[in-house]
Structure 1
Amino acid sequence: MPLSICSVWSDERYAGNKSRFKIMSRSLAEEDSFDVSKLRKGVRSGVLFSIMNLAKGALGGGVLAGHVAYMTAGYLPALILNMIYGVYMCFNFYILVLSAQRLCRRCHVPSMTYPDVGEAAFALYPNPKVARWSTCYRKWIDVITCLNLFGSCAAYQLMVAKTIKQLAEDTQESIIEGLFPGLPNLRAYIAFMIVPFIIICLITEIKYLAPFSIVANVVIAVAIIMTINYAVKNNPGFENMVVANSFMDIIKYTGMAVFSMSCAGVVIPVENNMKDPKKFPLVLGIGYIFIIGSVFSASFFGYVAFLDKCESPITMNFPLKVGPKVLKGFIAVMIYVTHAVNFFMPFNCVYYYLKPKFKPENQFKMELLFRAIIVVVISLVAIAFPSVDALMGFLGCFCLSNMAFICPNTIYVLVHYDRPGKNKKWMIWRAVLLSLFGVFILFCGSFVSGKDLVFALFKKKATTTTEAPA
């Protein structure tokens, strides 16, 4: 075979690459044979622990709102799309990690983050007109990642505030205003929680929060089991369930479903921390079977149990008895800690750009200050848009359409296009078709969810009342 991009990487074709990522493998054979795992130091995770980390990254507070998504779309389209979206995301994350692994071998680096992968994919593409966009693409991934995770924090604050308000008022009625004149409304509860949220977000080492994540998984599992129990007791014949709602309602469902099943922020870190990265497809496959099953169980049976009275989080629908009240309290604490875990990564991304602007002796104090400022901004967003479902739907459509659908396919084409033995036309067409759905969700879904957010800005009373099972 002649010496070309197909057999030996040409320095001339990459002369316009100004990125910090450079090609170190001088041939395809060297790239294919390079073992990245030898560069990875420290304690690494096995298959089982990696599956747990992947599932934990997806099954946060979003799974507690899945029953509202099923109520919105109707159970038949929700069931079908639950499976389709799960498989679709699993495949996209597979090609994303496949691209990340190839770029690590190509650059001889032990690991990359999601923004690293996006930057390197553009920077190492042989066309300088494409390569010059590498820094912009990295910053775009940073922006949508931060928007998604900070937005999730706003949704979590709403869940905590709703739970505390319900326990304080001791009622199943779910309204934004206080139950009686003189009682604080939901927005006031969010404001009261600003200081506690600031305090936990001032923790600068995530290792102190990690043990609580294990407890959080147990609490979510208990909530799902109790949901199935209420479904069997409350509606054993699966009656009065809406088969399907309007197309616009299905669009709303899509954003919430994608939000509840996506692990876009953790899929690459999980692979980076594996002892044997070659086993990642096994981890991803088993992990997504568990994720899809968990979301289905909480969502479908939650809708069976509570029908048109579904509220987020799902424990809002549980009766106000001692046992369920304790679980509601645990869920509030779990979401409170999850908020801090979710806050950690996007804040580090933001402070990465801010830190060089301060003197070394002031950097820690400024970090604490900006942590507090960003938490306040998140709380103001939650106060302005007090709708968990609308927030999750918008984040799923606007942010995760990029992170889970569009970006993985774009990156895969850039990384693999010049590889020999690839059917380039099929690669392009597959990427276009898979990305088109993401583009549709990005524009249509964001528009529909955005309208709901605007409505939430002026809404004072909820239109439904939660109804507890006997």
Structure 2
Amino acid sequence: MATKPQSGSTELESFLPQDNSGANGVTKYKIATNGDVETANLGEFDPFKSRQLQHPVSNVNTLTHLLKASLGTGILSMPAAFYSSGLVMGIFLTILVSVICTHCAYVLVTSAHELYKKSRKTQMGFADVAQEACKRGPPFARKFAPFAKQFIQIGIFVTYFMTCSCYTVIMAKNFNYVIDHYLGYEVEIRITIAVMLLPLILLAYVPNLKYLAPFSMVANGFMAVSLGITFYYLVEKMPAVSERPAVAPIATMPVFFSITIFAIEAIGVIMPLENNMGTPQKFVGLCGVLNQGMSGVTLVYILIGFFGYLRYGEHVEGSVTLNLPISDYAAQAVNILVGGAVFCTFGLQFYVCIDIAWNGIKERYAKQQKAANYIMRTIMTLVCVFIAIAVPTIVPFVSLIGAFCFSILGLMAPIAIEMFTFWEKGFGKYNWKIVKNLIVGIIAFLALIFGSKAAIEDIIAMYSNSPNATTEVLPIFGEEPKFNGTTPVAILARSILNGTTFGDIVETTLAPLNSTILS
């Protein structure tokens, strides 16, 4: 039976939602915009109360994960970054980069919270947020919604998967740095990587972020102790501040931004952390988990960068641990602890890849999800480690991928998502949000260009045997034998690369053997 309109009202008015307020006899009605039709029809939706998690993560554990994601091995490169910016300028630029990266993570989460209400969902990954923002954004963006999701998913997966391969190389190098010192010869890095395969598979089996929290705590402890020991060496024989330039030449500033952005950036773990929180609304806010974590991270980055450059000046290495005396037990402990911290971090970074891959295939294995999940984790870890074994010189290539993906995914994508999400609400007085996002976009573009340029130059220098190379080149199927650089294999390889004639090759190759026989 139809409801009869109230006295004094038209039939049309009975279908309009009133807000129960009026002034001077005027009745007000709530008219929903196109983007909020679902919310208006179904009532207010609280995504946080509706979220149900089997293993909710506490604020403290979320903060622990965030610190581990941002306090990676990149912090050891901060003295080199300060060398490119100057002692005083480095402080201000580090704060600037941290504010930008934190802001982009912040707007990603706040946009997600807005989209939760509009779509009546309680959780969304980074890629889903991008897709939903396009679908509910301006008309020109809606057709790009499927592409946005696929682009974000592929970009995040490739970046973090290759980063995990790079982590296995970094672990092996840190362990070998100490092992080689005691053995008196260089252990093949591929052997060390292969030995770590089983522990990494077991680490990949950790099912969720709640059970990964202890590993992040251990990693934070290892990194804290190693940074403490490193800091002791930095302040031990500290020169006067006046001995270092306050501001470096502007031509070297892009190098600073490249190092710092890719060291601090952790956009890939932001949404997984938020999605697993029991109180996701506390992730953002003035004193939220995000701001607390990034404030501490920024302070540590400034301290290591400032005092590392002050201590070693122009002689600072790409990783400040390489400046430490390897014969000291404390310096050896630093390398072991850093390797252990990277191992524990592997699980958190790899979780991002597992989450993306599993969400893509879990519907196909509805009846055998547990077995399929463990098989997938095993295969992914095997591939990750085998890439590192096949190409131990992977680090510069990962830097190139990071320069491309983190500039787009970490800086450009969040501001685009914010623009599309709040398109109907506007961009504030004088459109200040547009101006703000334009500035961030310019910085992201410069980071993309100069970061990619630096990575490509490093790759070229590495494979041209340039003294500027930062990574040792190893052939794919095995490291060449070493005999003070004059082994027959080494001489033969160099002769071929230099275009020497066959006769000269034979002569130069046999020369060491002749001298050995005659002696």
> Shorter-chain-normalised TM-score: which range?
0.7 to 0.9
Q: Does 1:195 align with 2:197?
A: yes
- Point out where structure 1 has 5 or more consecutive residues left out of the alignment: 15-21, 172-177, 466-470
Q: Assess if the C-alpha contact under 8 Å between 1:201 and 1:372 holds in 2.
A: no
Matching residue of 2:279: 275
Q: 1:133 offset after TM fit, Å?
A: 1.2
Query: Distance in 2 between the 1:460 and 1:427 partners?
Result: 45
Q: 1:140 aligns with which of 147, 151, 167?
A: 151
Q: Does 1:307 align with 2:326?
A: no
Q: Assess if the C-alpha contact under 8 Å between 2:107 and 2:414 holds in 1.
A: yes
SS of 2:38's partner is: coil
Q: 1:106 offset after TM fit, Å?
A: 1.1
Q: Does 1:8 align with 2:32?
A: yes
Query: Distance in 2 between the 1:432 and 1:198 partners?
Result: 42
Q: Assess if the C-alpha contact under 8 Å between 1:271 and 1:280 holds in 2.
A: no
SS of 1:455's partner is: helix
Matching residue of 2:233: 230
Q: Which amino acid aligns with 1:384?
A: T
Query: Distance in 1 between the 2:390 and 2:179 partners?
Result: 23
Q: Which amino acid aligns with 1:370?
A: I
Q: How far does the alpha carbon of each residue in 1:94-148 deviate from its partner, in whole angstroms, 9 at most, with x for none? A: 2221111100111121122111111110122251x42121111011111221232
Q: Assess if the C-alpha contact under 8 Å between 1:398 and 1:446 holds in 2.
A: yes
TM-score (norm 1): 0.80
Equivalences for 1:58-137 in 2 at 5 Å?
58-125=70-137, 127=139, 129-137=140-148
Equivalences for 1:296-445 in 2 at 5 Å?
296-311=302-317, 313-319=319-325, 320-353=327-360, 363-364=372-373, 366-368=375-377, 370-376=379-385, 378-379=387-388, 383-385=392-394, 387=395, 390=396, 393-419=399-425, 422-423=428-429, 425-445=431-451
Q: 1:257 offset after TM fit, Å?
A: 0.5
RMSD of aligned C-alpha atoms?
A: 3.6
Q: 1:215 offset after TM fit, Å?
A: 1.3
* Structure 1 stretch displaced more, 282-291 or 200-209: 200-209
- Point out where structure 2 has 5 or more consecutive residues left out of the alignment: 1-15, 18-29, 472-519
Q: 1:245 offset after TM fit, Å?
A: 4.6
Q: Which amino acid aligns with 1:151?
A: M
Query: Distance in 2 between the 1:39 and 1:316 partners?
Result: 51
SS of 2:263's partner is: helix
Q: 2:171 aligns with which of 134, 141, 160?
A: 160
Q: Does 1:205 align with 2:207?
A: yes
Distance 1:368 1:93, change over 3 A: closer
| Higher Rg | 2
Distance 1:26 1:422, change over 3 A: farther
Q: How far does the alpha carbon of each residue in 1:383-435 deviate from its partner, in whole angstroms, 9 at most, with x for none? A: 133x5xx4675355322212221111100110101126845844434323321
Query: Distance in 2 between the 1:196 and 1:306 partners?
Result: 39
Q: 1:200 offset after TM fit, Å?
A: 4.0
SS of 1:210's partner is: helix
TM-score (norm 2): 0.73
Distance 1:392 1:61, change over 3 A: farther
Q: 1:86 offset after TM fit, Å?
A: 0.8
Q: Assess if the C-alpha contact under 8 Å between 1:125 and 1:415 holds in 2.
A: yes
Distance 1:118 1:327, change over 3 A: same
Q: Which amino acid aligns with 2:309?
A: Y
Q: Does 1:37 align with 2:61?
A: no
Q: Assess if the C-alpha contact under 8 Å between 2:138 and 2:420 holds in 1.
A: no
Q: 1:214 offset after TM fit, Å?
A: 0.5
Q: Assess if the C-alpha contact under 8 Å between 2:462 and 2:470 holds in 1.
A: no
Query: Distance in 1 between the 2:464 and 2:193 partners?
Result: 17
Larger relative contact order, structure 1 or 2 (CA cutoff 8 Å, min sep 6): 1
Q: Assess if the C-alpha contact under 8 Å between 2:79 and 2:304 holds in 1.
A: yes
* Structure 1 stretch displaced more, 137-146 or 207-216: 207-216
Distance 1:411 1:37, change over 3 A: same
Matching residue of 1:24: 38
Matching residue of 2:502: none
Query: Distance in 2 between the 1:421 and 1:368 partners?
Result: 43
Q: Assess if the C-alpha contact under 8 Å between 1:154 and 1:379 holds in 2.
A: yes
Q: 1:455 offset after TM fit, Å?
A: 2.4
Query: Distance in 1 between the 2:58 and 2:412 partners?
Result: 30
Distance 1:258 1:463, change over 3 A: closer
Matching residue of 2:512: none
Q: Assess if the C-alpha contact under 8 Å between 1:121 and 1:415 holds in 2.
A: yes
* Structure 1 stretch displaced more, 114-123 or 48-57: 48-57
SS of 1:41's partner is: coil
